[in-house]
Chains A and B, each alone.
Chain A
Amino acid sequence: MSRVLAIATREFASFFRIPLGWVVVALFLSLSAVFFAKGTLVPGEPAEMRTFFGVWWFLLLFVTPAVSMRLLSEELRTGTIEPLLTAPVSEWTIVFGKYLAAVGFLAAMLLPSVVFVGVLEYLARPDYGAIGAGYLGLLLLGMLYLAVGTLASTLTSSQTLAFLGTLFGLLLLDLAPSRLAAQAPEPWAGLLFKLSPSFRVTDFARGLIDTSAAAYFLLASFWFVALAAVILQSRRWR
């Protein structure tokens, strides 16, 4: 576990040692601020962040690939993967540590947005339950997206390819089940809807914490991270 943390803390710190991390945070927060001012701070509307979370889910589609694209692609490109894989650490430790760092970065990126909640508190009485659930949904969705991104990053030494691969992968993961569900006959339609992350996350914004949805996000994330570890392991055998 201490080796997972060693990898996670190094990776987490490196997000802030390079411009990329700061640029992603700045873009995410400034875009959020625009949407908050335009969509949520409307006189007469209830003090809630439902529409705002909807915007964030959409933003995550583009932000998380930018966060995860570097994780392993950079190591593969610069050759630092060699000292890493020849240290007594397993592929699973490496991938999981890096994934943890990315999730930590996502959480750190969301942290300043608490200011928006403060603004609502100043103006009205927001429903903290719904806001808390919304944040949880956002984090869970981000974890799944980052897991897909980690997988893409183990597949290529090009960050650009990792970014595009993640983006297309997420669009496919998000859109394919819901589009197919619309045409599928009944038992399948329900099932396919439940596979779509954006469908699964909608309840969270309403303040509804569905344990099956939470389990879905955690299991799906685990599955993608585990697959990434297997792929990194397979690199040794090629």
Chain B
Amino acid sequence: MIQVKGVSKFYGTFPAVQGVTFEATPGQVVGLLGPNGAGKTTTIRMITGFLPPSAGRIAVCGHDTISASAESRQKIGYLPESAPLYPEMRVRDYLSHRARLYGMPRVDRKPAIIRAADRCRLLEVMTRRIGHLSKGFRQRVGLASAILHNPPVLILDEPSNGLDPAQIRETRTLIKDLSAQRTVLVSSHILPEVERTCDRVVIIARGQIRADGAPPELLARMLRQVPARHIVEIYVETRPDPEAGGRSELDRIASKIRAIPGVAALLREPIHGEPPDPTGARVAEWVRLVVMPEVTHPDLREPLSRTLSSATVLFRELRRQAPTLEQLFMRVIDAETVPVGASNAAQEGGGE
């Protein structure tokens, strides 16, 4: 159980984290998602007690990270970013050292080391020096040392950083396994990674929480705010027509589309891979138009097809394209202050 309440951190006058509030409960994998420099690591370091917050309170399993620092640290298993380890030590010695730091009795140490090493698939490298291991193995040594004392809270800062796809998949499975009775907090700047591993995502950008919720729910909520664009491909003349006062057929259709209620903007996009017209004799060509609807009109396919039919224009495509997760994510983190999610439930409640 992690409770973060109104936490801020200033480096000098620079606000690295501002008023962050969230909770993580047992059995849940919470993803802390955000671009580099968003304040993920600072937030994590405050939870693990490495940095004190400038304002606000953090409790881990009910222990305040400042007033009951040792107790709260005992409850946490932590894998820092890039897993710093002692390269001159052998894997077994390192795990044994960590077990002693967490005050594990001598009799419990050996089985705990074997269990953690087995889970992280380290048994084959137990006698090797950490400095001689590959990046993937080193990451696993860090992970094994984090789960060694069977902590109720597991915090992993960018656990998939620098791993190859197979190793990332392995880490993901391991995190899922470990989350059964634990509270797991994972940070990442890679969206699909978080989407696949986490039950809940907290999106953080410029030190503030921008969104908080389950990935499908977040997606639905963001979709309501970011309307889907419509793509139309029509066969029209693009050359100015002197009889129509210098306007082309394209201009005429475009103004009709703009007149549809709910159309916010209309753009022309190039069509790639269209065979060129070497003679220049063709009078008409395929043109791709992108219709941006207003939030109040999420679906414009019907009015669009009516308009095109009544104008007797040949069209080969009319498609509604929902924004990709990536685009939504970028929109959320680029937004100045339009947070969505649980932290702003009151604000949002009025709008829905």
Report A's interface with B, CB cutoff 8 A: 2-3, 5-7, 10, 13-14, 17-18, 78-80, 82-90, 236-237
Contacts and interface: CB of A to CB of B under 8 A. Distances in A.
Interface of chain A, main secondary structure: helix
Interface in B57-73: 70-71, 73
17 contacts: A2-B100, A6-B101, A7-B101, A78-B84, A79-B84, A80-B85, A80-B86, A83-B80, A83-B84, A83-B145, A85-B49, A86-B80, A87-B101, A88-B102, A88-B103, A236-B51, A237-B52
B60 to A, nearest CB: 11
B78 interface: yes
Contacts of A80: 84-86
Interface string B166-186: 000000000000000000000
A147 to B, nearest CB: 23
B304 interface: no
B42 interface: no
Interface of B: 45, 48-52, 70-71, 73-74, 76, 78, 80, 82, 84-86, 88-89, 93, 97-98, 100-103, 142, 145
Contacts of B82: 79
Instruction: For the complex of A and B, list the 6 residue pairs with the smallest distance between their C-beta atoms, beginning with the closest.
Output: A6-B100, A79-B84, A17-B88, A87-B101, A86-B48, A88-B74
Contact of A83 (B51, B74, B78, B100): B78
Nearest to A87: B101
A3 B100 CA distance: 6
A10 to B, nearest CB: 5
A79 B80 contact: yes
B88 A18 contact: yes
B89 A17 contact: yes
A83 B141 CA distance: 12
A226 B132 CA distance: 36
Nearest to B84: A79
